[in-house]
Amino acid sequence: MKSKIKLFTILTAFLCASQVATAQEQEIISLSQYARIGQGESKTKRPVEIVDREIYSPKSVRFSADAKKIYINSLEGGKTVVYSWPGLKKMRTISHRFSASREELFRYDVGEFDYRYYSEPSNAKRNEFMGKPVESELSADGKYLWVPYYRRDWDASAVSPSAIAIIDTESDQIVRVMPTGPIPKYVVASPDGRYVAVVNWGDNTVSLIDTSSGDPRRFRYVGHMTVEKQLSQEDLGGTDRDSTCGFCLRGAIFSPDSQHLIVARMGKGGIAGFHIPTQQYLGSIMNIPSTPRHLVLSPDGQTIYASSNSAGAISKAPLSKVIQALEGARGKRVDGPRWKSTSVGKGARTLDISPGGRFLFVAVNQSSELVVLDSETLQELSRMNVDPYAVGLAVAPDLSAVVLTSQGHPGTGGGNAVNIIRIRADDSATSIQLKLR
């Protein structure tokens, strides 16, 4: 009984802190460890410790549109785990395992789709599988959560079409599953609500889904766009798909007017551009630190930020100059504008920006850290140790916290955890800085 009262008191205090944290970002803020959800024991003491065996290799996390829930993708567990926010009460587990009883989820028309299956399940039933959820994306209206699967579990080499689930965010149930290209690591929705782009890591392609109807049963593929040349999967069975992925397409953003799509080429470097009305590949900008992985836009839509994994860098450039360079590339590789960059350490993975655009938050994988930067100067403001190995993160819409996933590596004994880091306003300070408590 005493432990329940204590937890209630802590959560109540956190709610109050969340309200305070909505203060303007010009004020100084501080970071502190608040909670951990996951397997194993934590080496760092936190006010809230939640043991959850379903947090198995968590790859990414996302807030719901109303900020009342967080969705955690457990890659190896084949599940999306849903917690209330900020109460951290487990609400639901969404299973990505499909048997014959869920066949109706696959029965709708998918439109233009011609990706070849280079491997088949032993029972010849392609739609009976466990999907490994990677990233996620909310529809423009927040009604649906799109979750792509790294691969279907029967496709060991990830050379055949994978799939993407569409989840109703009111019921937190899967309402449809659509096929994708090989290894769809990323998905992004256009601001105007007309399209969802599925970025296929495995073969240099991006697939465009028409979502303008607002009805998941009517969503259809209307195009498949290619960066330079599509990579055949025919001879890739048994290979390391992190090496045999071509340009290894990853993070992506739409321009605010939904006219352009920009995609990170993590494998061979550069960022690629597409003109959405014509579905034309415009070319690629190469003047950016190698291995760009994640892209975000500033809230005002003026600046593009990128994290570069092996280079360990965070970079920025004016979006208008990036689009101008892509429009003039004529399908070729060009230098493009100069990017302002700073080093944060190797393994710069997921990047997010605060609601007001003042701060950048990045998960640094190799050092297992959360790093905070000033978005204007790219000056480093803070570092905080988290569970190994940091990979995904999301900033609360009210700037009350950062939620960070640590995927871990086999045999290390680490990872399999979600860290919740509280952000608090500090009215007493007189200069802009972030500091730990």
Mean pLDDT of the chain: 91
Percent of the chain with pLDDT over 90: 85
pLDDT winner (highest mean) among 8-17, 103-112, 408-417: 103-112
Q: Write the pLDDT tens digit of every residue in 153-207.
A: 999 999 999 999 999 999 999 999 999 999 999 999 999 999 999 999 999 999 9
Could you tell me the pTM of the whole model? 0.91
Helix, strand, coil shares, percent, the chain, to 5: 10, 45, 50
Q: Write the pLDDT tens digit of every residue in 38-81.
A: 997 777 778 999 999 999 999 999 999 999 999 999 999 999 99
Residue 412's pLDDT band (cuts 50, 70, 90): low
Can you give the pLDDT at residue 19? 46
Q: Write the pLDDT tens digit of every residue in 115-126.
A: 999 999 999 999
Structure tokens at 377: 């100067």
- Separation between Cα atoms, residue 226 and residue 238, nearest integer Å: 24
Residue 29's pLDDT band (cuts 50, 70, 90): low
Which of 290, 266, 270 shows the shortest CA–CA distance to 336?
270
Say yes or no to pLDDT of 437 above 80.
no
Structure tokens at 249: 């397409």
In terms of pLDDT, which residue wins out, 2 or 35? 35
> In whole angstroms, how far apart are CA 117 and each of 152, 245, 311?
12, 17, 35
Gyration radius of the chain over CA positions: 21
Can you give the pLDDT at residue 433? 35
CB-CB contact of 183 with 198 (8 Å)? no
Say yes or no to pLDDT of 409 above 80.
no
